[in-house]
Amino acid sequence: MSTKTTLKRIALVAVSALGAGLLSIVAAPVANAVASSLSVEKSSITVVQDPTSPAAIQNLAAYRFTVLNSDGDPVALASDETITVTITAAPTKTGTTTAVTDFKLYDVVNSVTLAPDTGYIDHPMAVATVPYAAQVDGKIGYNHNTCSDNISATQDAGKYCVGVQSVNASKGLDVGTYTLTADLTRGSATLTRLTLSFKLVSSAADSGAVITLAKAGNPLVTGKAFKNTSTNYIRATLTDANGGELVTSDTTSVNTITPALSGYLESAAGSELTALVFSDTGTAFDYTPSTGAVAYDGVYGVTAGSVDDTLAATANTVSTSASLTADSVIRVRYGLANATLSVRVLAAPTSFPSASLRTVTADGMYTATDTTTRPIARPTMFQLRLRRYQSRLLRRTAVAQCRLPSH
């Protein structure tokens, strides 16, 4: 075999290998676009019935689901995929008749305002002025609308909501916890099954509320109002007994859906010093350091001021009676829940003077006047020996110079 033939064969093998590499890159698998699993934002929901206007039929709360592909990315439901929510078990309470039919399931397009889904995407009549009847079968298919959280529509991909609806003013009220299941299916195959819980109570005291408090920095200054920042904040987190969502049934506005907390800055002895303000609206008062402010998520910003970010001069201020040497207490209540947090109130800063009456003395200090001299420090033993050595060296040098012949 000639050298020329050998080189041709080597070149051909190299080109083939390069081509195979290019083909392998082109044929690399893409992200799976079909549903693989289902998650839910809050698997437990407790609703406190509004005592002023209990409605006979009313949307109470919604479970917000996210459909995920095999890579964990949100994806829309495909034509053969369905989310089905079912009430599977009713609580047992002596003297009360309960059933899985005590509530209905409603397809909603907003998990906060609970607006019903009355249209279908890709349907020729979807933009008609007369909407379709709201969906009440607990099933969501590929042609249903996604569900917003009243914050950002850009975060709605692959998200769908099923709400729980009362059938009258008394069914299911104060009887206990209902169990639900949510299935994600493709054809006849069940891909994911989630277990959910729901409870409707008549008062905050029956809600089983849990409050946790957290703080960073030291935002309380006597005589001053404050608002939360990334380094100085106090926040309260409200959940139901299972760590889930706790809301009211008053759907007049997003603010009335959010339970109203109460609380005070107190002395160590329990005296109420300053009323606290709570906000879960997603403004700077509702600060969440890890992910930013999120509205209506049960995390409240706690301030000693106004809910207005400008904190006007008329805003509440930290009591000047708060101790500057001992810890004070942040106390927050909802229903029977009562949480406390120790805080130290700082003294208000004062202006700096342009001159000081203090004096400073030190060895080697420069003085501005000729009449002031610094004290002479006593030499160390090393310094004395060094001076004697230098003196002897100078004498020897002088003697040696005297002995040199003159010219």
Q: Given this model, what pLDDT does residue 335 score? A: 96
**Cβ-Cβ contacts under 8 Å for 132 (sequence gap 6 or more):** 118, 119, 120, 125
Measured CA to CA, the distance from residue 178 to residue 114 in angstroms comes to 20
Nearest to 70 by CA among 40, 38, 43: 38
Tokens of 247: 């809301």
Q: Given this model, what pLDDT does residue 26 score? A: 40
- Name the 3-class secondary structure at 15: helix
**Cβ-Cβ contacts under 8 Å for 310 (sequence gap 6 or more):** none
Taking the CA atoms of residue 373, residue 374, residue 380 and residue 385 in that order, the dihedral angle to the nearest 10 degrees is -30
Whether the model clears a pTM of 0.75, i.e. scores above it, the answer is no
Q: So where are the chain's domains?
A: 37-202, 210-343
Nearest to 311 by CA among 399, 400, 206, 225: 225
Nearest to 105 by CA among 60, 65, 144, 44: 60
Q: Given this model, what pLDDT does residue 313 score? A: 41
Q: Which CATH number fits domain 37-202: 3.40.50.300, 3.40.50.261, 2.60.40.3450, 3.30.70.250?
A: 2.60.40.3450
Nearest to 303 by CA among 320, 288, 315: 315
Whether 163 and 61 have beta carbons less than 8 Å apart is answered as: yes
Measured CA to CA, the distance from residue 146 to residue 73 in angstroms comes to 15
The tens-digit pLDDT sequence of the chain (407 residues) is 555 555 455 455 444 544 444 444 443 333 446 889 999 999 999 999 987 766 667 889 999 999 999 999 999 999 999 999 999 999 999 889 999 999 999 898 888 888 888 776 655 554 444 455 667 788 998 888 889 886 655 578 899 999 999 988 888 999 999 999 999 999 999 999 999 999 999 999 999 999 999 998 887 888 888 777 777 889 999 999 999 999 999 887 777 889 999 999 999 999 999 999 888 876 655 655 555 567 788 989 888 765 444 444 445 788 889 999 999 999 999 999 999 999 999 998 775 555 555 666 666 665 555 555 555 667 777 777 888 888 888 877 776 776 666 65
